[in-house]
Amino acid sequence: MAHRFALMITPVDAADARDDYAETFSTIDVAAPALSVGELSTQRGDGVFESIGVIDGHPNEVEAHVQRLAHSADICDLPAPNLAQWRQAITIAAAHAPAGEAVIKLILSRGVEHGPAPTAWVTASVAPDYVAVRRDGVRVVTLDRGYDLGAGERAPWLLLGAKTLSYAVNMAALREAHRRGADDAIFVTNDGYVLEAPTASLIIRSGDEFLTTAPSAGILHGTTQLSVFEHLESRGFQTRYATLTTRDLTQADAAWLVSSIRQGVAITAVDGAPLASDPILTAELNAFLLSPR
Ligand code: PLP
């Protein structure tokens, strides 16, 4: 992902309301080193992030992303981010984002050990080209997440609902999916419930109802899933959060992975067995997701 722009942020207190946070921002050279070697928290993945889809300079669903940043920070006991400051940083990054499809990343890490404040920055980059995958879909394999449906509530230190910087497990799951001849993975609890993909939410269709796993299962509440549900409801479909089994997925009338940059991709096979897909609805969902929202 080619970085085009980066802005370091000196986080201010959430209660510090200002008309302009410009003096807390500094543009940095994307090719130059920027983090200190004392930045242990970032090395440990002890921080949170967001990836926002940008279409021709318009960042989509900014409010849902900054709210989730605050939610993730809260789960991780990080100081509450000043959302007005982050919104302004996003506006600046969007103005420097490349044309077409781009990505703005927000990063908030605990910072230098015993340091005065968290470390925060925003980048704007060219998005990968997902045109073919939106058209052709993905084959998924189900992978055991290694814990049951109650783990998130029983063990909050697993930080399951937070979008933390620690994505090593998610990347390992994608490599395992590729080793098994698939394109992507769906995590499944060890008591048989489907959760989410390593970088996307799962939506399944059963008749005229669209279902997704409830965030209380210890998954990320997807901003794209929220938008898709709103859109489907406006078209008269039913939507619902549920506990979904592997069988619900394999018996679905159609299923999608949805996320902010890749948008909507149809699941065409689960563990080697073909799954029905709906190319017209997939194209329609992507037309909606790629419009300014
Ligand atoms: N679940 C996980 C684990 C993710 O990493 C992501 C996005 O990266 C999502 C779900 C989808 O979230 P969003 O639609 O907000 O991009």
Q: What domains are defined for the chain?
A: 4-126 (3.30.470.10), 131-289 (3.20.10.10)
Of ligand 1's atoms, which has the minimum distance to the CA of residue 68? 15
Ligand 1 pocket mutation, candidates 106, 259, 263, 265, criterion most atoms within 8 A of CB: 259
Q: 149: burial class by Cβ within 10 Å (0-12, 13-18, 19+)?
A: buried
Query: Is 259 touching ligand 1 by the criterion CB < 6 Å?
Result: yes
Which structure tokens are listed for 186? Answer: 């769906």
Using the predicted structure, report yes or no on whether residue 33 has a pLDDT greater than 90.
Answer: no
Mean pLDDT to the nearest integer, 77-103: 97
Which residues are within 8 A (CB) of 87 and not within 5 positions of it... i.e. 6 or more apart?
A: 62, 66
Ligand 1 pocket mutation, candidates 49, 62, 163, criterion most atoms within 8 A of CB: 163
Euclidean distance between the first and the last CA atom of the chain, given in angstroms as a whole number:
23
pLDDT at 86: 98
pLDDT in tens, 139-192: 999 999 999 999 999 999 999 999 999 999 999 999 999 999 999 999 999 999
User: What's at 219, amino acid-wise?
Assistant: I
Q: Is 0.95 surpassed by the pTM of this model?
A: yes
Whose tokens are 């399951």? That residue is 160
Beta bridge pairs of residue 123: 6, 105
pLDDT at 1: 66
Report how far residue 110's alpha carbon sits from residue 226's, in angstroms, rounded to the nearest whole number: 28
Considering the chain, what is the average pLDDT of its residues?
Answer: 96
Mean pLDDT to the nearest integer, 246-252: 98
Which structure tokens are listed for 266? Answer: 């149809």
Report how far residue 242's alpha carbon sits from residue 265's, in angstroms, rounded to the nearest whole number: 21
- Segment among 36-45, 249-258, 259-268 with least mean pLDDT: 36-45
Ligand 1 center from residue 235 Cα (angstroms): 24
User: Do the strands 47-55 and 101-109 form a parallel or antiparallel pair, or are they unpaired?
Assistant: antiparallel
Ligand 1 pocket mutation, candidates 61, 220, 226, criterion most atoms within 8 A of CB: 220
CA 162 to chain centre: 10
